[in-house]
Amino acid sequence: MPDTHRLTPGKPIRLAEISTRGRDYHDDRAAAEEEFMSLREEFISWQERLYAEDKQKLLIVYQAIDAGGKDGAIRHTLQGVNPQGVRVTSFKVPSKIELAHDFLWRIHQAVPATGMIGVFNRSHYEDVLVVRVLELVPESIWRPRYEHINNFERLLHDSGTTILKIYLHISHDEQRSRLQSRLDDPTKHWKFDVGDLEQRNYWDDYIVAFEEMLNRCTTDYAPWYLIPGDQKWYRNLAVMRVIVDTMREMNPQYPVQTEDLSQIKIS
């Protein structure tokens, strides 16, 4: 089941042909939420082992259109984990210093070290998404970045980093509903940005950009998972299934204690 939403390298996809509805994959919300809670408890255990083992690394990349659910997915899946072993990085508009370097410079500084889980809320893919759609640089600059990204992810993989890339797929109507809810609820006003409405006008352009991202950067060593995001309860379950299945394959273990501790007494 974790492979249900895994894309296949070389197999073209069109987002318009793929359902955004979690209900098309699971029809029992209560059962889904129960499974999610069980998997999250398992994930907490695996994360502790990963941190204690201090040999492997996991990078989880989230991408989505505005209001796609990145924050919510991260918040729900990481609840209860040891914060010492997890680092979440949100990539905003590049600073002047970051713009003075190549586009991957700030990204490379945030990749996880051994024993760590790194989570990217947006990522290096912004440089073939918003940069492309808003024409911040010419095509001659952004188009070669697909190859640069694939090579960068190959470097991370070859250096011992397991990479998961999660695209949260929501509908145009669902985005409207979520943006409206931020306006209707005063406690959510802080989440609303008038600029989101301008970005919404570029919906079709973003879909084209996301499609090319998924088609050109789906690899065996850094797979993309296309998660239906309209129903948050299913989104959370699908993401958790992918993460836990990956942790099972990584199978981190507590280090073997070589020193004899049997005679130690604590006064």
- Output the pTM of the full model: 0.94
Quick check: is 263 in a domain? Answer: no
Q: Which residues fall within 8 angstroms of residue 248, CB to CB, at 6 or more apart?
A: 46
Q: How far apart, in whole angstroms, are the C-alpha atoms of residue 63 and residue 125? A: 8
Q: Which residues fall within 8 angstroms of residue 44, CB to CB, at 6 or more apart?
A: 80, 81, 82
Exposure on the CB side of residue 142, measured as CA atoms within 13 A? 19
Q: What percent of the chain has pLDDT over 70?
A: 99
Query: 129: closest CA among 74, 195, 203, 59?
Result: 203
Q: Which residues fall within 8 angstroms of residue 186, CB to CB, at 6 or more apart?
A: none
Residues 186-237: tens digit of each pLDDT: 998 988 888 888 899 999 999 999 999 999 999 999 999 999 999 999 999 9
**pLDDT band (50, 70, 90) for residue 29:** very high
The total number of structural domains in the chain stands at 1
Q: What is the DSSP string of the chain?
A: -GGGGBPPTT----GGGS---GGGT---HHHHHHHHHHHHHHHHHHHHHHHHH-S-EEEEEEEESTTSSHHHHHHHHHTTS-GGGEEEEE--SPPHHHHTS-TTHHHHTTS--TT-EEEEES-GGGGGTHHHHTTSS-HHHHTTHHHHHHHHHHHHHHTTEEEEEEEEE--HHHHHHHHHHHHH-GGGGGG--HHHHHHHTTHHHHHHHHHHHHHHS--SSS-EEEEE-SSHHHHHHHHHHHHHHHHHHH---PPPP-S--TT----
Q: Are 65 and 206 in contact (CB under 8 A)?
A: yes
Measured at the CA of 131, the angle between CA 128 and CA 134, to 5 degrees, comes to 130
Residues 152-187: tens digit of each pLDDT: 999 999 999 999 999 999 999 999 999 999 999 999
CB atoms within 10 A of CB 23: 15
Q: Provide the residue range defining the domain that includes 162.
A: 2-250
* Cα diameter, the chain: 70
Quick check: is 256 in a domain? Answer: no
**pLDDT band (50, 70, 90) for residue 266:** confident
Tokens representing 259 are 């020193």
Say what the pLDDT of residue 193 is: 83
Say what the pLDDT of residue 181 is: 93
**pLDDT band (50, 70, 90) for residue 59:** very high
Quick check: is 258 in a domain? Answer: no
Quick check: is 108 in a domain? Answer: yes
Quick check: is 267 in a domain? Answer: no
Quick check: is 257 in a domain? Answer: no
Mean pLDDT of 91-101: 95
Quick check: is 82 in a domain? Answer: yes
Say what the pLDDT of residue 2 is: 64
Quick check: is 162 in a domain? Answer: yes
Q: How far apart, in whole angstroms, are the C-alpha atoms of residue 222 and residue 199? A: 28
Query: 57: closest CA among 155, 144, 135, 132?
Result: 155
Tell whether the model's pLDDT for residue 263 goes beyond 80.
no
What average pLDDT does the structure give for the chain?
95
Say what the pLDDT of residue 196 is: 83
CATH number at residue 112: 3.40.50.300
Say what the pLDDT of residue 264 is: 80
Say what the pLDDT of residue 11 is: 96
